[in-house]
Structure 1
Amino acid sequence: MASKFFWYELMTNDRAAAEAFYRDVVGWTLSPFGPPEDPYMIVEAGGRGVGGIMSIPKEARDQGMKPCWVGYIHASDIDAAVEKVRAGGGKVYREPEMIPTIGRFAVCADPQGAMFNLMQPEGMDMPPVPMGTVGAIDWHELHSSDGKAGFDFYAGQFGWSATDALDMGPMGTYQMFAMEPVSGPTECGVTVGGMMTDAQAPNPYWTFYFHVDDIDAAQGRITANGGSVLFGPQEVPGGAWIINALDPQGAMFSIAGPRKG
Structure 2
Amino acid sequence: MSKPANFIWYELMTPDPLGAAAFYGAVVGWTIASHGDKTAGGVDYRMIGRSDGGQAGGVLALDADMLAGGARPIWIGYLNVDDVDTAVDAIRADSGTVQMGPMDIAVGRIAMVTDPQGAALYVMDPVPPPGMEGMESDVFSVTEAQHMRWNELATSDPDAAIAFYKQHFGWGQEGEIAMGEMGAYRFFQRGEIGIGAVMPLMEGYPVPMWTFYIGVDDIDRAHAAVTANGGTITNEPMEIPGGEFAMNAVDPQGAAIGFVGPRKS
**Could you state the TM-score of these two structures normalised by the residue count of structure 1?**
0.90
Give the conservation status (yes or no) of the 8 Å contact 1:19–1:53. no
Give the Å deviation of 1:61. Answer: 1.8
Q: CA deviation at 1:29?
A: 3.0
How do 1:78-157 residues align onto structure 2 when only pairs under 5 Å count?
78-99=84-105, 101-123=106-128, 124=133, 125-128=135-138, 130-157=141-168
Paired residue type of 1:215: I
1:163 alignment partner AA: E
Give the deviation of 1:44 after TM superposition: 2.7
State the match for 2:240 in structure 1: 236
Question: Is the contact between residue 233 and residue 242 of structure 1 (CA under 8 Å) also seen in structure 2?
Answer: yes
- Out of 41, 50, 53, which is 2:46 matched to? 41
Amino acid of the structure 2 residue aligned with 1:190: I
- Structure 1 unaligned segments of length 5 or more: list them: 181-188
Which amino acid is the alignment partner of residue 181 of structure 2?
P
Q: Does the alignment pair 1:253 with 2:257?
A: yes
Q: CA deviation at 1:58?
A: 5.2
Aligned residue for 1:193? 196
1:224 corresponding residue in structure 2: 228
Q: AA paired with 2:200?
A: T
Deviation (angstroms), 1:83: 0.7
| Alpha-carbon spacing, 1:127–1:6, altered in 2? closer, same or farther (3 Å) | closer
Amino acid of the structure 1 residue aligned with 2:243 = G
Cα RMSD for the two superposed structures? 1.9
Residue by residue, what CA displacement relative to the aligned partner does 1:152-196 show, whole Å, maximum 9, x if unpaired?
11111111001211111111111101123xxxxxxxx21111100
- The match for 2:71 is 65
Question: For 1:57 and 1:152, how far apart are their aligned partners in 2?
Answer: 36
Structure 2: unaligned runs, 5 residues or longer = none
Q: Is 1:20–2:26 an aligned residue pair?
A: no
In the alignment, what sits opposite 1:210?
Answer: 214
User: Which residue identity lines up with residue 114 of structure 1 in the other structure?
Assistant: A
Q: Deviations over 1:87-136 (max 9, x none)?
A: 2211111100111x211111100111011111111123434254322211
CA contact (8 A) 1:163 1:191 kept: no
TM-score calculated relative to the size of structure 2: 0.89
SS of the equivalent of 1:237 reads coil
- Identity percentage of aligned residues: 39
Distance 1:82 1:7 in 2: 18
Q: Which of 72, 75, 80 is equivalent to 2:81?
A: 75
User: How many pairs does the alignment contain?
Assistant: 252
